[in-house]
């Protein structure tokens, strides 16, 4: 298993941003081979998206 994490920062994390992540970015990440995606709010202004890939070839 391989994991990647992307870090996002904005002046404010809003519900619209979460909706965009869920509807646009997370499906795109899964279409590239990730089996799971998680969004984690790490502060008032930052979010990390964690993607899990089953194989190294899909991770790259």
Q: Domain 2-59 adopts which CATH fold?
A: Alpha-Beta Plaits (3.30.70)
Q: Which residues pair with 52 in a beta bridge?
A: 3, 36
pLDDT given for residue 24 in this prediction: 93
pLDDT given for residue 55 in this prediction: 83
pLDDT given for residue 28 in this prediction: 93
User: Can you give the residue ranges of every domain in the chain?
Assistant: 2-59
Rounded average pLDDT per 10-residue block, the chain, 60 residues:
92 90 92 93 94 81
pLDDT given for residue 56 in this prediction: 78
pTM for the full predicted model: 0.79
b or e along 8-29 (b: 16 or more beta carbons within 10 Å of the residue's beta carbon)?
beeeebeeeeeeebeeebbeeb
Q: Which residues pair with 50 in a beta bridge?
A: 5, 38
Structure tokens at 34: 């990730």
Backbone angles phi, psi at 3, to 5 degrees: -130, 140
């Amino acid at each position: 298993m391989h994991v990647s994490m992307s870090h996002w920062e904005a002046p404010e994390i809003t519900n619209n941003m979460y909706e965009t992540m869920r509807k646009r970015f997370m499906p795109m990440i899964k279409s590239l081979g990730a089996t799971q995606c998680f969004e984690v709010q790490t502060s008032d202004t930052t979010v990390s998206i964690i993607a899990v890939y089953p194989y190294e070839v899909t991770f790259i």
